[in-house]
């Protein structure tokens, strides 16, 4: 009843005008930016970032923050109900100029791939090949054949080898720094790009004798592509085991040497200490002792309790204890739709439809102005077997959209329509619907459909789809590349995307993700729903939830086998 009454009161609840102090830090991807203008859309006043790139500004839910700086692309961010911190990495605003002749011709990825074996100035990074002689900043490259002497690990080799590079500590725990990069008094260690895989810790395990080429990148303009984690500079290493072929180019639609993705061991090594301790527990009793220890230390962190729930539910299969964790700390999620959405994802991943439905009701009450609240509520009802209520939610969304109470979006409308059609296809007879009137989009009919949803609207990432022929399609969900799409999401209130797979390429597919952060210091939860034979009687579905916390590293999400008769479109 509470949900129904709220629907009729919705016009008065579009945005709760709650004023609060929004804080954050602005950088150019590596260094703080001072004097960035921060203003509110349609409101007087504003502020500027200080010498450390930090700012504070009073804002209300529904306001748009504008971040402006000469020569950099303006960023617009919606202030939501949960917005307290907004950290922004600004990028150059490139403008194409007419009648300009480039004297120093840049080589294509194909050309550099062909020249790699003979041109010592070319090195392969996580972002493709790079010619150190033709970059905008300084890149120092050394051939592996010049390495002489015996070194225990990479830190021993780097000591006093390159000017401006120094090592703090001893192998195997030493950290590497570049003196002219980072904040004075608080140096930032370099990150390592080894054969296209990014490591935030020194790869002391690397066999020095296997190094084929090594590059030192201290230039801000180059290191910025690695995001904030590259603030201290980057050391790129290519080993003799790397295989470079002329058609191994990172480009949409081209043949593609599949990138190395982080392994489970890599993710574990970079995960919080409590997770490593839990995963290393030899018994359930030991795991419970670890939980008790950290539950006191991290009592204020809802993300710890989400991880603990997941561990005891999935690894120890102690559902009673897992549920007790959430029940005891449920108050930490109350009123926060971002945290509640992460919890709902986990419940859906575990097939706990009734619990997911109840959490989605709480989210709906908090966010009746978000288009996705109606879709999520409809699907939660569907999964719980309440098909009439699911149909009612789809109808309510269409009505409020038509009456102008909700902000429309062509992108979101199509995705929710696919799910609406799917509901009536599967359960139309139970809903007393004339089956002859049900229509479906032939583009997705019978397809393998992938639906990606993320709980943080500010999440930035790059999705890679690698088909059986090793060709790649890439979708960049970043402010730098997709600012209009992100603004559409914020205005209409959705955070999702769908893809279907090309009918000409059935077989094994790989889906990877490179996470770039979410403008705050919290992790992002990503839910991936895979539908096979979408819209047909033999339709099946899989749900997987991922916690994204490592920035700039390529992570494998899933592999799947697509049957014939499917296509890919974003």
pLDDT of residue 270: 87
Q: What are phi and psi of 60, to 5 degrees?
A: -120, 155
User: Do 438 and 424 form a contact (C-beta atoms < 8 A)?
Assistant: yes
Q: SS3 letters for 342-366? A: HHHHHHHHCCCHHHHHHHHHHHHHH
pLDDT along the chain (570 residues), means of 10: 46 57 85 90 89 91 89 86 86 53 53 81 84 75 66 73 76 74 61 85 79 84 74 86 41 48 84 94 96 94 96 97 97 95 98 97 96 97 95 93 91 92 86 65 83 95 86 86 90 94 76 89 94 90 94 89 60
Q: Which of 411, 416, 401 is nearest to 484 (CA)?
A: 411
Give CA–CA dist 462/480, Å, rounded.
Answer: 12
User: Do 493 and 59 form a contact (C-beta atoms < 8 A)?
Assistant: no
pLDDT of residue 177: 86
pTM of the model: 0.68
Q: CATH number of 17-89: 3.40.50.720, 2.60.40.1120, 2.60.40.10, 3.40.190.10?
A: 2.60.40.1120
Give CA–CA dist 515/461, Å, rounded.
Answer: 4
CATH code for residues 441-570: 2.60.60
pLDDT of residue 204: 79
List the strands of the sheet with 460-466, edge to edge: 472-477, 460-466, 507-517, 554-562
Asked if residue 498 has a cis previous peptide bond (ω within 30° of 0), the answer is no
Q: Which of 37, 25, 38 is nearest to 89 (CA)?
A: 25
Give CA–CA dist 417/408, Å, rounded.
Answer: 13
pLDDT of residue 143: 78
Please state whether 164 falls in left (phi above 0), alpha (psi between -120 and 50) or beta.
left
* SS percent in the chain: helix, strand, coil, step 5: 35, 25, 40
Please state whether 316 falls in left (phi above 0), alpha (psi between -120 and 50) or beta.
alpha
What separation in angstroms does the CA of 46 have from each of 35, 40, 74?
Answer: 12, 7, 15
Q: Which of 349, 353, 351, 344 is nearest to 326 (CA)?
A: 344
Sequence spans of domains, the chain: 17-89, 111-246, 441-570
pLDDT of residue 397: 95
Give CA–CA dist 207/151, Å, rounded.
Answer: 9
pLDDT of residue 567: 45
Strands 88-89 vs 19-27: parallel, antiparallel or unpaired: parallel
Give CA–CA dist 507/529, Å, rounded.
Answer: 18
User: What's the chain's length in residues?
Assistant: 570
Is domain 111-246 given the CATH code 2.170.130.10 in the classification?
Answer: yes
pLDDT of residue 148: 54
pLDDT of residue 139: 82
């Amino acid at each position: 009843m509470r949900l129904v009454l709220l629907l009729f009161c919705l016009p008065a609840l579009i945005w709760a005008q709650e004023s609060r102090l929004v804080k954050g830090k602005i950088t150019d991807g590596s260094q703080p930016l001072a004097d960035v203008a921060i203003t509110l859309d349609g409101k007087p006043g504003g502020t500027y970032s200080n010498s450390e790139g930090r700012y504070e500004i009073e804002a209300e839910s529904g306001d748009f923050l504008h971040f402006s700086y000469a020569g950099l692309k303006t960023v617009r961010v919606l202030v939501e109900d949960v917005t307290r911190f907004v950290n922004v990495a600004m990028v150059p605003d490139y403008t194409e100029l007419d009648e300009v002749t480039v004297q120093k011709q840049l080589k294509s990825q194909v050309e550099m791939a062909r020249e790699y074996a003979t041109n010592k100035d070319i090195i392969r990074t996580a972002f493709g090949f790079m010619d150190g002689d033709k970059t905008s900043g300084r890149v120092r490259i050394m051939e592996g054949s010049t390495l002489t002497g015996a070194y225990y690990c990479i830190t021993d080799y780097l000591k006093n080898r390159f000017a401006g590079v120094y090592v703090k500590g001893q192998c195997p725990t030493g950290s590497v720094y570049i003196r002219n990069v980072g904040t004075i008094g608080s140096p930032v260690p370099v990150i390592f790009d080894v054969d296209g895989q990014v490591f935030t810790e020194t790869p002391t395990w690397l066999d020095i004798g296997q190094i084929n080429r090594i590059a030192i990148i201290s230039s801000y303009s180059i290191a910025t592509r690695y995001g904030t984690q590259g603030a201290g500079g980057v050391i790129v290493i290519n080993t003799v085991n790397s295989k470079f072929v002329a058609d191994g180019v990172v480009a949409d639609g081209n043949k593609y040497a599949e990138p190395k993705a982080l392994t489970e061991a890599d993710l574990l090594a970079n995960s919080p200490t409590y997770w490593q301790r839990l995963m290393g527990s030899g018994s359930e009793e030991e795991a419970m002792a670890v939980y008790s220890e950290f539950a006191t230390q991290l009592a204020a962190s809802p993300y710890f309790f989400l991880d603990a729930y997941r561990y005891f539910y999935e690894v120890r299969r102690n559902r009673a204890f897992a549920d007790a964790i959430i029940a005891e700390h449920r108050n930490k999620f109350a009123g926060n739709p971002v945290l509640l959405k992460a919890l709902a994802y986990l419940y859906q991943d575990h097939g706990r439809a009734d619990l997911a439905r109840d959490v989605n009701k709480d989210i709906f009450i908090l966010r009746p102005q978000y288009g996705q609240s109606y879709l999520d509520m409809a699907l939660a009802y569907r999964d719980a077997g309440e098909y009439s209520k699911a149909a009612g939610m789809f109808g309510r969304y269409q009505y409020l959209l038509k009456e102008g109470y909700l902000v429309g979006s062509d992108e979101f409308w199509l995705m929710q329509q696919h799910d609406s059609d799917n509901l009536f296809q599967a359960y139309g007879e139970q809903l007393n619907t004339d089956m002859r009137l049900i229509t479906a989009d032939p583009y997705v009919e019978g397809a393998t459909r992938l639906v990606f949803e993320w709980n943080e609207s500010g999440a930035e990432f790059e999705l890679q789809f690698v088909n059986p022929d090793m060709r790649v399609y890439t979708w960049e969900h970043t402010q730098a590349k997709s600012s209009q799409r992100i603004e559409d999401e914020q205005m209409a209130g959705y955070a999702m995307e769908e893809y279907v797979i090309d009918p000409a390429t059935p077989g094994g597919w790989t889906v990877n993700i490179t996470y770039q952060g979410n403008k705050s210091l919290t992790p992002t939860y990503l839910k991936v729903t895979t539908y096979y034979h979408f819209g047909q009687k033999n339709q099946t579905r899989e749900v997987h939830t991922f916690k994204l916390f490592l920035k700039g590293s390529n992570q494998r999400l899933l592999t799947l086998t697509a049957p014939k008769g499917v296509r890919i479109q974003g």
